[in-house]
């Protein structure tokens, strides 16, 4: 009797990824960055935070990394909590001027 040899392969579809630099203005003390990571699976780098004692809004520069869908969901979340968000048109540039 001839034995059948099974070969298993897995095909992982690569989803398009996105890298986005944004500036948000925090007006409340909520764990916004924590939600972006835990709820949407984004990788978040905090590039700069402007902290002034008890002064709001606080300016925070972030880099978001994830699939296109994850980034879109994260941006929708930021809009749902009424955060002011600015994008950086040239991610390869070296300044945050718009």
pLDDT over 90 percentage in the chain: 24
Residue with more model confidence, 80 or 56: 80
pLDDT over 70 percentage in the chain: 71
pLDDT for the residue 36: 94
- Domains of the chain, by residue range, sit at 33-87
CB atoms within 10 A of CB 75: 19
The model's pLDDT over 13-45, given as tens digits with 9 standing for 90+, comes to 678 888 888 888 887 778 899 999 999 999 999
Q: Which residues contact 47 (CB under 8 A, 6 or more apart)?
A: 21, 61, 62, 63
Q: How confident is the model at residue 49 (pLDDT cuts 50, 70, 90)?
A: confident
Q: Is 13 exposed, middle or buried (0-12, 13-18, 19+ CB in 10 A)?
A: exposed
């Amino acid at each position: 009797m001839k034995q059948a040899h099974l070969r298993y392969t897995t095909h992982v579809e690569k989803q398009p990824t996105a890298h986005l630099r944004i500036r948000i203005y925090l007006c409340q003390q909520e764990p916004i960055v924590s939600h972006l990571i835990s709820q949407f699976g984004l990788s978040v780098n905090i590039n700069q935070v402007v902290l002034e004692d008890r002064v709001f809004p606080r300016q925070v520069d972030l880099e978001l990394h994830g699939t296109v869908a994850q980034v879109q969901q994260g941006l929708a979340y930021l809009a749902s909590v009424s955060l002011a968000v600015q994008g950086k048109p040239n991610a390869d540039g070296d300044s945050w001027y718009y």
